[in-house]
Amino acid sequence: MPLRATTGLFLLVFCFYALTGPGHLSSIDGTVILQSARNLMKTGSGSVPRDASEQSASITPRGVDGRYYPIWGPGLALAHIPTLFVARHLDALRPIVGGRPAVSAVRDMFFAPITGAWLMAAAVTFIALCGSALGFPVRASIELAALVAVGSPLWHYGRFDTNEPLQCVALIGAAYFLFRERRAPSPRYPLLAGALLGVAVAAKAQNVILVPWFLLYAGWTAPRSKLRAIALMATPLAVIGGALGALNHARYGSPFETGYHVSGSLFDHPLLDGAAVLLFSPGFGLFVFFPALLLLPLAARPFLRRFPVEAALIAAVFATHLAVDATYHAYWGCAWGPRFLVPTVPLLCLPLLPLVARTGWMRMTAIAALAIGIAVQAVTVPTAFWGQIMTVWGHLAVPIDERLASSHPGRAELERVETLIHSPSVAPPRVALWLLANTSCREAGAAAPALTTPSWHAEFPWKDAALAGQLADLTGLDLWIAPSCWKPQRFAAVLPSNPRLCALLVGTALLGAILLGSVFRDSDRNP
């Protein structure tokens, strides 16, 4: 694929994700990981303050040195460092809060989601590169990548602060270099694939279970010595694995202890129920947030015929992820869409390439399905999951066994959440639609309009109607580029704005569009 196309696609997608970001941290994960990155830059230690919640032991476990560390792998904390370094040396791009430059902590929280933007933009670029490496036209490869960028949960996680973007780019990048190795053998390709798999493990230790599938693919498809290809892949994996083991030993006293304290109780959710929620539920289903995947049966035959081994790799990675994620105790991800399946999305979309590359009704059907996905993201992206959706859930009266609530309040709360997870009437996209329907431009100090009665009111009435009325201050757009009157008024005064960064990103996006346009013009002249 031409360098112009690669650069243009990356710049356009990165700017789009960065412009549609929240401008603040959105999760406990992101907050703790940013603290680790900031401390790493300041003192050389990745330790963090002890989390003050009930789950402190499972969020910031105590190390053997008495310090507290994030339970998550060091990958995202390290990825934050270049973002924060640039932000700290470009003071002209410091965000504004209340008409004044933001303090350093707020500045770093503003830029933290931009780490996810450039990582996910790289993952989207690798989708197009994979299409080109598999022999599909450059134009079709770029079109699929661009449509998946906004028509799947990649958009959500390209503006979020968790480690899914890093996992996405690591897994699809490893696949790309193995595809290149099959067609143009070079020692650097398996080395780069192994390095990226190591990054995936550094982002989330669970990804170690995917390594055998990639090694098997490398050995099976190696055009020369199979052992050589596997050894080249294993070398950077071993180096990164050794570094992670040394880090674990320094923190927790064992190279195999990551802080998760893995036990059977972590993976005790029924497999079939978890899989059904992650795939089909209105609130979190993969096919709801990425409806184009419903066309996989149509695309499977031509893709399998040309790429049977690649199809087997994609299926193995997805099935392994699903089997583990569906049994995890927090299987629903506590965020938008099927969060834990998102790292597989860039791989899963590759079988759609034969449809997009064709002409006629198959191509139009694929584009229409991707367009539906864009509509789903457009409704849900402007709404904060924890700041808005979960706050609405917290105001709902959910029937619970009173005896259980009094004797085991923790279990009662889990049952309450499970009821909401499985209820189509209060699925997060429906709650987002209700919030958007009640959103309007409201200046500070203006009276809050009355909220409309939600469609779920008969099934789940408000716990306290008077308190629920205060949710009017939560309606608004969770976008840093939105005018202040369109942001949630409860937080509008402390949410940053950044006109200079907005102008820079818009200009850079135009540059990316120009580069892509020149590639498309060339392809039209030389079909």
> Could you tell me how many residues make up the chain?
527
Which residue matches tokens 């569009």?
513
pLDDT single digits (tens) 203-257: 999 999 999 999 999 999 988 788 999 999 999 999 999 999 999 999 999 998 8
Query: Quick one: pLDDT at residue 404?
Result: 67
pLDDT band at 120 (very low <50, low <70, confident <90, very high): very high
pLDDT at 403 over 80: no
Query: Quick one: pLDDT at residue 405?
Result: 66
CA 471, 473, 474: angle at the middle one, nearest 5?
65
Query: Quick one: pLDDT at residue 526?
Result: 65
pLDDT single digits (tens) 372-395: 999 999 999 999 999 999 999 999
d(CA 258, CA 76): 15
CA-based nearest residue to 338, from 278, 389, 296: 278
d(CA 192, CA 267): 32
CA-based nearest residue to 477, from 29, 22, 74, 134: 22
Map 80-108 to HEC letters. HHHHHHHHHHCHHHCCEECCEECCHHHHH
Count of alpha carbons within 13 Å of 439, Cβ hemisphere only?
24
- What mean pLDDT do residues 274-285 have? 97
- Residue of higher predicted confidence among 410 and 464: 464
CA dihedral (125, 127, 131, 134) positive or negative = positive
Which residue matches tokens 């991800």?
333
pTM of the predicted structure, to 2 decimals = 0.95
Cβ 60 vs Cβ 68: under 8 Å: yes
CA-based nearest residue to 339, from 380, 278, 384: 278
User: Regarding beta strands 96-97 and 100-101, do their DSSP bridges make them parallel or antiparallel, or are they unpaired?
Assistant: antiparallel
d(CA 478, CA 387): 9
**Token pair of 113, please?**
């989601």
Query: Quick one: pLDDT at residue 456?
Result: 95
Q: Range with the lowest mean pLDDT among 119-123, 289-293, 449-453?
A: 449-453
- CA 487 to each of CA 22, 402, 436, 444: distance values in angstroms, whole numbers, following the listed order: 10, 38, 11, 10
d(CA 390, CA 465): 17
212: Cα separation from own chain's centroid:
24
pLDDT band at 258 (very low <50, low <70, confident <90, very high): confident
Query: Quick one: pLDDT at residue 524?
Result: 67
pLDDT single digits (tens) 360-376: 888 899 999 999 999 99
pLDDT single digits (tens) 463-517: 988 888 889 989 999 999 999 999 998 888 888 999 999 999 999 999 999 999 9
423 SS3 class: coil
Sequence spans of domains, the chain: 3-53+62-380, 385-494
How many CB atoms are closer than 10 A to CB 179?
25
d(CA 95, CA 480): 10
